[in-house]
Amino acid sequence: LNQRAVEEARERQARMTKPAGSLGVLEDVSVQLAGLAGECPAPLPEPAAVAVFAADHGVHAQGVTAWPQEVTTQMVHNFLAGGAVVNAFAAQVGAEVTVVDVGVVDDLPAVPGLLPRKIARGTADMTRGPAMTRLQAEYAIEAGIEVARDLVAAGNRCLLTGDMGIANTTASAALVSAFTGRDAAEVTGRGTGVDDAVYEHKVAVVRAALEANRIDVSDPVGVLAAVGGLEHAALAGFILGAAFLRVPVVLDGVIAGAAALAAVALAPDARLACVAGHRSSEPGHSVALEHLGLRPLVDLDLRLGEGSGALLALPLVQSAARALRDVATFEAAGVTQSD
Amino acid sequence: LNQRAVEEARERQARMTKPAGSLGVLEDVSVQLAGLAGECPAPLPEPAAVAVFAADHGVHAQGVTAWPQEVTTQMVHNFLAGGAVVNAFAAQVGAEVTVVDVGVVDDLPAVPGLLPRKIARGTADMTRGPAMTRLQAEYAIEAGIEVARDLVAAGNRCLLTGDMGIANTTASAALVSAFTGRDAAEVTGRGTGVDDAVYEHKVAVVRAALEANRIDVSDPVGVLAAVGGLEHAALAGFILGAAFLRVPVVLDGVIAGAAALAAVALAPDARLACVAGHRSSEPGHSVALEHLGLRPLVDLDLRLGEGSGALLALPLVQSAARALRDVATFEAAGVTQSD
């Protein structure tokens, strides 16, 4: 962060017509945005775009979810038709939706709104070895960086993470365990909602994946390749791309949190571009946020993904920036300060 | 709430293309809005208007705050000039700001955006007897009902509470203590930020006010008159007005919470129109929310007032309603449901 802009923002927050500190966490957000942009006030984080990275997971074969794999493809069609929650929320808060196929098993049509960046037809089953080759993980990271670059080149001043991939909370749990060292049972959740028996099995599958692969956190690309998904690798790249371009990136739930752990392992400063949009009810997400040192803006028991939690946080981020830009100082407004 | 609309909304949430329950608290909000409107899906809660009720407090003479009383007037001018946080947040989320003078000590100009509804030039010092006469409290309640009615007649489909009044967290603490039975020390906070000595004194002032007046919770108007502010009484009316008209009202912080306790004491069903916008860092606010059985949507350590926390919650409320209205069902979208 640019320290001059950070100090200017802190100083301006103290002169704005409001009690010092009374905007709570949003004061910190405004300071972060100023430091990231290198100017105070920072430009408003709008327009905004959510990129929904879609991919399938070989570990689906292990029976970790009640949803059939083809739902990934069906939901991509739903996104493109405007029928999903991500579409409704994006319309409400004024964000653009872009869907990126980085690894869906099925063929997808060439239509507007869908970026074809398929690296592979899903990952391999991570309980039997690496989910991806190293090259596939690198290609996916590169695809994510390029999506960030293209969305910013198109004029966006705020990026939001989205994801779709049946079984991707299983891969997320493995990534969170790998990067934080926490046990599989502490970071595995019920995802879209599985019963006790499937949940126990899911924990065992995460543990099996971590045992079937050599995990070396000093090699984040290797960890992504071993137990990640193609959308996790792409999201890691997307976060890195936003950080390189000094554009804030609002993270969605546990999939984004797992990807952010990889991004920050690759480039620690990437954390400074991240805003935690929300806290999902997946336990691995709280572990990831704690490890990243990020405080979520929305905390309403959501567990949907798609970018829904990031979109809900967008108006909060924008309001934080707008207050820093627009609110009058005591001096300018002729308001007496407290003793 | 209309039970047919409530059931339709619950049933629709189960058929929408998302895992059951995955929108968490926002599913409950969408169901409440449908039940309140008596139709599913409910109309979107927009356009929205925030009414900032401004008034002064006789208890200011007891030295409960570091801010001089004239700041109430100065901030009203700031609101009208568009320079305050409420203006910045309202502009960001697309809400209209109306300022209502129900009891500012100073004369205020006749300008657009300011409704002149002055009941008195501030309240009396509640540590020496009632803050208002019963008639003043009734007039203020009526003024609040009329503001709600006028804003809905102008086309608004969502109302938000706002407030301005130096020393109004002191009156709020007394109201919360009166309506919930909790001790003054549990419900008194530091407001805009007072030091330890002033804080201890503030608790004593709240206790003195409750001792100087006969408190009978079966007479909510009497409680408002005894230890409330003119803006609290007006806000109670505003909440009742919204509920009568079956329009959702998003509550801001501790001042709104204290007013909502009075409104619900007068008409228990008024609670069904209320959405808790946020949880402020004032301890009395959490006590009020708990008593009301409301879960706040935003929880970011804000303690500003003005309507700022309600405005931040508005996009969340609107997104909840829009999802219920716009998201495709599994059947319509051709998406397979889980086993």
pLDDT digits (tens, 9 = 90+) for A232-262: 999 999 999 999 999 999 999 999 999 999 9
Which amino acid would we find at residue B15? R
Of A83, A89, A336, the CB nearest to B74: A336
Angle at A308 between CA A304 and CA A309, to 5 degrees: 95
Distances (CA, A) of B73 to A16, A35, A330, B29, B338: 17, 35, 13, 36, 59
Interchain CB contact of A168 with B (< 8 Å): no
Q: Are A34 and A175 within one domain?
A: no
Catalytic residue, from B142, B290, B306, B331: name it. Answer: B306
Tell whether B85 is within 8 A of chain A (Cβ): yes
Nearest partner of B34 among B25, B23, B24, B45, judged by Cα: B45
What one-character DSSP code corresponds to residue A329? B
A184 - beta bridge partners?
Answer: none
Q: Are residues A38 and A118 in the same domain?
A: no
* Cis bond upstream, residue A47 (ω within 30): yes
Which of B64, B319, B329 best probes binding to A when mutated, by most A CB atoms within 10 angstroms? B319
Concatenated DSSP letters of A197-236: HHHHHHHHHHHHHHHHS---TT-HHHHHHHH--HHHHHHH
Answer yes or no: do A258 and A233 share one domain: yes
Q: Of how many residues is chain B composed?
A: 339
Identify whether residues B160 and B271 lie together within a single domain: yes
> Are residues B236 and B304 located together in one domain of the fold?
yes
User: Residues 6 or more apart from A56 whose CB is under 8 A from it?
Assistant: A69, A72, A103, A104, A105, A121, A122, A123, A165, A166, A167
B109 and B23 in a single domain? The answer is no
Q: Do B83 and A332 touch (CB under 8 A)?
A: yes
| Alpha carbons A131 and A110: distance in angstroms, whole number | 27
Together in a domain, B94 and B194: yes
CA distance A154 to A96: 11
Residues A15 and A80 in one domain: no
DSSP secondary structure string for all residues of B132-180: S-HHHHHHHHHHHHHHHHHHHHTT-SEEEEEEE-TTHHHHHHHHHHHHH
Contact state of A21 with B308 under an 8 Å Cβ cutoff: no
CA closest to A92 among chain B residues: B319
Given a contact cutoff of 8 angstroms between Cβ atoms, the answer to whether B255 and B231 are in contact is: yes
SS3 (DSSP) at B254: helix
CB-CB under 8 Å, B16 with A85? yes
Selected residues 253-282 of chain A with any CB under 8 Å from a CB in chain B: 281
Number of domains in chain A: 2
A85-93 and B308-326 helices cross at what angle (nearest 10)?
Answer: 140
* Most A-contacting residue of B285, B331, B335 (CB-CB within 10 A), to test interface: B335
Distance from CA of B215 to the nearest CA of A (A): 32
Look up the domain containing A17 and give its range.
Answer: 3-43+323-333
Q: Residue B307's domain is classified under what CATH number? A: 3.40.50.10210
Q: Which residues of A touch B302 (CB under 8 A)?
A: 22-26
Which residues of chain A does B75 touch, with a Cβ-Cβ cutoff of 8 Å?
A: 17, 335
Taking contacts as CB-CB distances below 8 angstroms, the residues of chain B near A87 are 326-327
- Does a structural domain hold residue B339? no
Q: How far apart are CA B55 and CA B293, in angstroms?
A: 28
Q: Which stretches of chain A drop beneath a pLDDT of 50? A: none
Set A39, A46, A306, A331: catalytic member: A306
Amino acid, single-letter form, for residue A249: V
pLDDT of residue A53: 98
**Structural domain includes residue B301:** yes
Nearest CB to B333; choose among A67, A78, A308: A78
Alpha carbon B208 to its chain centroid, in Å, reads 26
Tokens of B265: 């004491």
Strands A274-276 and B48-55: unpaired
Q: How far apart are CA B336 and CA A98, in angstroms?
A: 23
Interchain contact, A303 vs B83, CB within 8 Å: no
A140 assigned to some structural domain: yes
Q: Considering only CA atoms, which of A40, A53, A1 is closest in space to residue A231?
A: A53
Treating both helix axes as pointing N-terminal to C-terminal, what angle do B134-153 and B230-244 enclose, rounded to 10 degrees?
A: 40
The answer to whether B24 faces chain A, any CB pair under 8 Å, is yes
pLDDT in tens, B295-322: 999 999 999 999 999 999 999 999 999 9
* pLDDT at residue B339, rounded to an integer: 72
Q: Are residues A8 and A123 in the same domain?
A: no
Residue of A nearest to B310 (CA): A316
Residue A339, in any domain of the structure: no
Residues of A in contact with B250 (CB under 8 A): none
Classify burial at B242, counting beta carbons within 10 Å of its beta carbon; exposed 0-12, middle 13-18, buried 19 or more.
buried
Question: If contacts are CB pairs under 8 Å, which of residues 176-235 in chain A contact chain B?
Answer: 192-193
**Active-site residue flag, A146:** no
Burial class (CB in 10 A: 0-12, 13-18, 19+), A236: buried
Helix or strand or coil: residue A151? helix
Is the domain of A161 the same as that of A282?
A: yes
Both B20 and B162 in a single domain? Answer: no
Residues 6+ apart with CB under 8 A from A300: A278, A312, B24, B25, B26, B297, B316
Helix (H, G, I), strand (E, B) or coil at B256: helix
Contact A333 B77 (CB under 8 A): yes
- Report the pLDDT value the prediction gives residue A261, as an integer from 0 to 100: 98
ipTM of the complex model? 0.97
Measured CA to CA, the distance from residue B90 to residue A191 in angstroms comes to 36
Question: Is B338 inside a domain boundary?
Answer: no
Interface A–B counts its CB contacts (< 8 A) at 200
Residue in B32, B281, B306, B327 to test binding to A, most A beta-carbons within 10 Å: B327
Q: Which of B93, B281, B311 sits opposite A24 (nearest CB)?
A: B281
Spatial separation of the C-alpha atoms in residues B302 and A22, rounded to whole Å: 5
State the Cα–Cα distance between residues A263 and A241, nearest whole angstrom.
10
For A315, B110, B247, the CA distances from B315, given in Å and listed in that order, are 7, 32, 16
Cis previous bond, B268, omega within 30? no
**Which parts of chain B have pLDDT scores under 70?**
none
Phi, psi for residue A293 in degrees, rounded to 5? 70, 35
* Mutation site for A-interface testing, chosen from B12, B22, B74, B330 by largest number of A Cβ within 10 Å: B22
Cβ of residue A25 closer than 8 Å to a chain B Cβ: yes
Q: Which of A83, A98, A37, A69 is nearest to A248 (CA)?
A: A37
Q: Does some domain include residue A338?
A: no
CB B64 within 8 A of CB B43: no
Q: Is the CB of A20 inside 8 Å of chain B's CB atoms?
A: yes
Residue at B213 is within a domain: yes
- A225 contacts A132 by C-beta, under 8 angstroms: yes
C-beta atoms of B316 and A312 within 8 A = yes
**Distance (Å, rounded) from C-alpha B161 to C-alpha B101?**
14
Write the CATH number for A327. 1.10.1610.10
One-letter amino acid of A74: Q
Q: Do B74 and A333 touch (CB under 8 A)?
A: yes
Are B225 and B264 found together in one domain? yes
Tokens 């029976």 map to which residue? Answer: A63
